[in-house]
Amino acid sequence: MNKSLAAVVLVAGFGMVPAAAAQSACDALGGTVDTAAVCHVDRADAGFRFEASFPAGYPDQQALTDYLTGQRDRMADYAAKIPPTGRGTGYALSITGKPYHSGAPVAGTQSVVFAAQNDSGAANEGRPSTSYTAFNYDLGRGAPITFATLFKPGTTPADVQAAAPDLPAPDDFGVHGYRNFALTDEAVVVFIDQDFLHAGRRSISIPRTALAALLA
């Protein structure tokens, strides 16, 4: 690895560079499902520990599998390339998925928002960065919901901010053009990444009424 690139990776870590199968995401990760239908994963490996919990019943299991295994594998690669020498413990990656829903149970929407806390990189030791990745699904249509399908054709992040001035600029750190959102009956909730240099609100709830002219 180029020395300057190695220095950047060492300081920043990997996690802030961002995510229908027969097998469930929980099975793919070797997890167990509790009585509340939440999957729990706890894996200790060479140089790192990976923990995850998330609702087991999200409709698009392949999307969750791809995201979670990708995060785990990137941490494994990072730990192999830059072992946690001199740290009291190995690197830690902890991912928690929170469910949201709107509408009728069988024809509304389901969302799961993952908060990934990652302490790889010297800058994050003792103060993990937090990055968000959201998945949304239209139960009635049987299809994922993205920024492009949530809003009317041609809607831009700038249009969304104009309708909801409480939102930070779409190109601010951790905003990612408002693509990490969850849906409830009353609101669209937008999530914003955090690290040791960028603190503030981690989520902003925008009433659906404020976005009514833009929603598809």
Which has the higher per-residue pLDDT, 207 or 21?
A: 207
β-strand partners of 129? 118
3-class DSSP state of 160: helix
CA dihedral 21, 22, 28, 34 (to 10 degrees): 110
Two tokens, residue 78: 């990072």
Closest CA to 60 of 144, 181, 152, 186: 144
Q: How many domains does the chain have?
A: 1
CA-CA distance, 171 to 146, in Å (whole number)?
Answer: 18
Q: Would residue 216 count as lying in a domain?
A: no
Burial of 166 (0-12, 13-18, 19+ CB in 10 A): exposed
Global pTM?
0.86
pLDDT in tens, 11-68: 444 444 333 445 899 999 999 999 999 999 999 998 999 999 999 999 999 999 999 9
Q: Would residue 202 count as lying in a domain?
A: yes
* Res. 110: pLDDT tops 90: yes
Closest CA to 98 of 135, 153, 55, 45: 55
CA-CA distance, 198 to 23, in Å (whole number)?
Answer: 38
Q: Would residue 83 count as lying in a domain?
A: yes
Q: Would residue 63 count as lying in a domain?
A: yes
Q: Would residue 164 count as lying in a domain?
A: yes
CATH number of the domain to which 201 belongs: 3.30.565.40
pLDDT in tens, 122-162: 656 666 889 999 999 999 999 999 999 999 999 999 999 99
Q: Would residue 196 count as lying in a domain?
A: yes
Range of the domain at 167: 3-211
